[in-house]
Homo-oligomer: A and B are copies of this chain.
């Protein structure tokens, strides 16, 4: 199965990388760019008996290995056979 997991900085946590990119946009003349938040995405190929098992595994991995749950949110975006 192929899955996609998103990890994003929690809304109330500062995101200095995103801020730097927003300022970069402004200094390049792109004044319409109001806010940028940078996150991570993971394309994962895995073996699991079914989608429900895959989702459980992915949520466990995200909490343990892919994200820092103190400052980041994670979400399984898609699972394809």
Task: List the interface of chain A (C-beta within 8 A of B).
Answer: 6, 8, 18, 21, 24-25, 28, 30, 32-48, 57, 61, 64-66
Pick from A8, A24, A36, A48 the residue with the most CB of B within 10 Å.
Answer: A36
B34 near A21 (CB under 8 angstroms)?
A: no
B47 near A43 (CB under 8 angstroms)?
A: no
Cβ contacts under 8 Å, A37 to chain B: 42-44
Cβ contacts under 8 Å, A30 to chain B: 57, 61
A48 near B25 (CB under 8 angstroms)?
A: no
Cβ contacts under 8 Å, A21 to chain B: 42, 65-66
Distance in angstroms from A65 CB to nearest chain B CB is: 6
Cβ contacts under 8 Å, A47 to chain B: 32, 34
